Amino acid sequence: MDPLSREQALALDAADPLRGFRDRFVNNDAQRIYLDGNSLGRLPLATRDRLAALVAEWGERLVSGWPEWIDAPARAGDLLAEHVLGARPGEVTVADSTTVNLFKLCSAVLDTHAGAIVTDRGNFPTDRYVLEGLAARHARELRLVETPADAVAERGAALVLLSHVDYRTAELADLAALTAATDADVVWDLSHSAGAVPVDLRAAGVQLAVGCTYKYLNAGPGAPAFLYVAEERQAQLRSPIWGWFGQRDQFAMERDYDPADGIARFQAGTPPVLALAALEEGAKLTAEAGIGALRAKSVAMCDLIVALHDAWLAPLGFSLGSPRDAARRGSHVSLRHLEAWPINVALIERAGVVPDFRGPDWIRLGVAPLYTSHADVWDALDRLRGLVERGEHHLVDAAPGRVT
């Protein structure tokens, strides 16, 4: 069979061990192809049911629900530790946003040693902004270098902040090699790898990490982020936000601040119980599928995007913005084009394909192996080819949007 035929894509779907997961997510529009699970994952049916039950429980139980709800951050953290992050129980908790967790961990590191702050210029904006703020607050030099490899080669650094998967290019960094290449503390942002790319923090010698749960982990818009501190570092690091949920004997109330032992010290205020329940359901689906199977399917679908790009899109002025080698790539493929923005708008408005756009000229196609199919990929690229061939991207209103 022609490897680039639709029949071949359908054959791969028929043989896909994860094919049953697709129907466990809400999908009310069979015509729309969703390739933005790397930005906001779909809603699992189990989550919809669990949230309805939990809302009812809130109504019934009111404050008497807290004895069970209060352990939700630790429960969700342990689930992620075991099935997603390769960490031990008690090394991961869930709280706040990725941005706030970055602030907490990076600030804790800067409180313990002198030296510069380093990241790569291409790192995600919020990561760079947090470092700019911390550099000013702690009177440190902030060095922006070209690549993660350059970052760990810097001398005199206290803190290096790196993303495991580059949000634009999908370039996959080597956790173990980069962590070992510097004496500085390396904080890893796993937002674009957690749930899609195998992560083994313990084996990689990583001590500090954060990441999103609303992307490949399908925990819902604004769901809280995870935070990992290796057991052997926990006693030494303190959150800059001294809150009662990080306090030893939280309900003793009258004492001065004395941080809890363990990862709980990185909690600050009352946890978002509804969102944590959603995360638990999302993480359970990921655990059930298994990260190895998810990665294998993700690689196959991203390879298909690359092959179809070469065959159909390169002649139309596209170029590949991601590594060709799957071993160096996360779970999305970026395509670049001089008219990327109007093409992106036309894809959504005229072709029913949802990618996302990152300026100035990147269209990201994300595959979420729990619910994306090979046929989705084939159809999306076929629609993309057709609309550019017909010049439909010249027919849309290409005014910039508030959210891209």
Residues 4-33 that bind ligand PLP (CB under 6 A): none
* 263: exposed, middle or buried (Cβ count in 10 Å: 0-12, 13-18, 19+): buried
CB of 63 to ligand PLP, least distance (A): 29
- 214 counts as catalytic: yes
* Binding piece for ligand PLP, criterion CB under 6 A, among 55-63, 187-195, 268-276, 329-337: 187-195
Residue 129 or 244: the one with the smaller Cβ distance to ligand PLP is: 129
210, amino acid identity = V
Stretch (H or E) spanning 357: strand 356-358
103 is catalytic: no
> How many residues are recorded in the chain?
404
Q: Which two tokens stand for residue 167?
A: 């949000």
* Binding pattern for the stretch 155-184 against ligand PLP, x by CB under 6 A and - elsewhere: --------x---x-----------------
- Cβ-contact 387, 343 below 8 angstroms: yes
Query: What is the pattern of x (binds ligand PLP, CB under 6 A) and - over residues 224-263?
Result: -x--------------------------------------
- C-beta of 116: minimal distance to ligand PLP in Å? 21
Q: Which is nearer to ligand PLP, 12 or 94 (CB)?
A: 94
214 vs 318, beta carbon nearer ligand PLP:
214
Q: Of 309 and 332, which CB lies nearer to ligand PLP in the complex structure?
A: 332
If binding is defined by CB under 6 A, does position 212 make contact with ligand PLP? yes
Q: Residue 215 catalytic?
A: yes
Residue position matching structure tokens 């390396």: 186
Among the listed residues 21, 214, 318, 371, the single catalytic one is 214
Give, as ranges, the residues between 49 and 108 that touch ligand PLP (CB under 6 A).
Answer: 97-99
Which token pair is 200?
Answer: 């083994």
- 284 part of the active site: no
Closest CA to 94 of 222, 224, 244, 193: 224
3-state SS, residue 395: coil
Cβ nearer to ligand PLP, comparing 39 with 373: 39
353 binds ligand PLP (CB under 6 A): no
DSSP 226-292: EEEE-HHHHTT---SS--GGGBTTGGG-SSPP-BPSSGGGG--S---HHHHHHHHHHHHHHHHH-HH
188 lies in the binding site for ligand PLP (CB under 6 A):
no
CA atoms within 13 A on the CB side of 79: 24
393 DSSP 8-state letter: G
Applying CB under 6 A, does 132 fall inside the site for ligand PLP?
A: no
Binding of residue 192 to ligand PLP (CB under 6 A): yes
Residue 344 CA to chain centroid, in angstroms?
22
Instruction: Find the helix packing angle between 374-389 and 340-351, rounded to 10°.
Output: 110
Q: Rule CB under 6 A: say whether 209 interacts with ligand PLP.
A: no
Integer Cα distance of 5 and 9 in angstroms = 7
DSSP conformational letter for 400: P
String marking each residue 361-400 x if it binds ligand PLP according to CB under 6 A: ----------------------------------------
Q: How many of the chain's residues bind ligand PLP (CB under 6 A)?
A: 13
Residue 325 appears among annotated catalytic residues: no
Smallest CA-to-CA distance from 116 within 139, 146, 82 is with 139
User: 18: which 2 tokens?
Assistant: 């994860």
Verify binding: residue 124, ligand PLP, rule CB under 6 A.
yes
78 or 127, CB closer to ligand PLP? 127
Name the minimum Å distance from CB 348 to ligand PLP.
20
Residues 161, 206: Cα–Cα separation, whole Å: 12
Looking at the annotation, which residues are catalytic? 124, 189, 214-215, 364
**Where do contacts with ligand PLP occur on this chain (CB under 6 A)?**
97-99, 124, 126-127, 163, 167, 189, 191-192, 212, 225
